[in-house]
Structure 1
């Protein structure tokens, strides 16, 4: 019995589809999570130093450090995305879902900040300062959703624990609302729940 060589391309395409739909593989894009955790974690420390007077106002205008951090992160993010695309191989369905959820998390946070800017411009910051103290908790809740989907798609219990930890950290950080200490707590959460896992997942992807 001979194999029809004309079917070889179809066979290869079928095997590729199986790999894409059923494979899991290492997480791609963990370097972006590492960058987000480091950049915004350091920025949170800078904001804490500003609030406590360790950095004088003329060196860190209130809120400007976050805008600068976002600009830096966007540059880093675009650079990492282009690098990932150049090295792109087979992407599984799980990897596509993970990429989609983290992209959604990023856009959701951006929409949140845009909405808060509009609200503060409309009613004034002093009329509803509570919403600004909620920002760290809301962002950590977003991260919890991202880790939850990632854990499900990768069938990873440790990542599931990260999701749980993020959800717990959201109200825990809120306990420090009204004081500069909230930004120390937020920085710790960003380092432990984003930067460190991102670094470990990046190393895992390189060794795979």
Structure 2
């Protein structure tokens, strides 16, 4: 004979789980800081090259983005190891948010790998028009990541980061064809990725 199903207990358990997820800080802030600073620096270099502040040889064929990606991927295992070493209880929210941001990163990587494959197959060189939209596309992915993070942690302030990322995507698209696009992109990476990541790191240390 089975015991009767207790809906009240289930609801109480779900409320406890939700409260636990809201209280437990996200510990992936260091990855956000790394991505924001590395790619933000790459964007500043691109802007400096387009405005003649540095030699264009430094950014020929977008080599700084390849260097930035290699540097980020080299630091990522170290950051993950440190997070696992200092991690406390891993909540459902932490697991889901980590998965979402991981998918955001890999989606961006695969998307632009596909663009490179297309250019190679078509044999018509690099699609300059598409390249100008790269910052906007990335900011849309970030808006998605922040929206999921805000929802799972029940943090209204994180919703502003999602909204800010959407606004930044549109603003950057409006700068298409102008070198200032990359200056704005660097600012967006610093303010909407590196800075929030640093603040999340501080919260995680206190938690």
Answering whether residue 160 of structure 2 is matched by residue 156 of structure 1, we say no
Please state whether the residue corresponding to 2:61 is helix, strand or coil.
coil
1:127 and 1:56 map into 2 onto residues whose CA distance is 21
- Partners of 1:20 and 1:91 within 8 A in 2: no
Moved more, 107-116 or 118-127: 118-127
1:191 and 1:126 map into 2 onto residues whose CA distance is 31
Q: How much has 1:159 moved relative to structure 2?
A: 0.3
1:19 and 1:111 map into 2 onto residues whose CA distance is 38
Answering whether residue 198 of structure 2 is matched by residue 206 of structure 1, we say no
Q: How much has 1:201 moved relative to structure 2?
A: 0.7
Alignment of 1:32-111 (within 5 A): 32-111=31-110
CA distance 1:78–1:19, change in 2 (3 Å): farther
Q: How much has 1:62 moved relative to structure 2?
A: 3.1
TM-score by length of 2: 0.87
Please state whether the residue corresponding to 1:91 is helix, strand or coil.
coil
Match of 1:10 in 2: none
Match of 1:167 in 2: 166
Match of 1:142 in 2: 141
Match of 1:116 in 2: 115
Unaligned runs of 5+ in 1: 1-16
1:65 and 1:79 map into 2 onto residues whose CA distance is 22
Q: How much has 1:195 moved relative to structure 2?
A: 0.7
Q: How much has 1:97 moved relative to structure 2?
A: 0.7
Post-superposition Cα deviations, 1:52-106, rounded to whole Å, max 9, x if no partner, equal 2211133332300000000111111111001111222210001111001000101
- Partners of 2:27 and 2:87 within 8 A in 1: no
1:42 and 1:153 map into 2 onto residues whose CA distance is 31
Q: How much has 1:179 moved relative to structure 2?
A: 1.5
1:49 and 1:74 map into 2 onto residues whose CA distance is 24
1:177 and 1:91 map into 2 onto residues whose CA distance is 42
CA distance 1:122–1:96, change in 2 (3 Å): same
CA distance 1:83–1:122, change in 2 (3 Å): same
TM-score by length of 1: 0.87
- Partners of 1:20 and 1:90 within 8 A in 2: no
Counting matched residue pairs gives 192
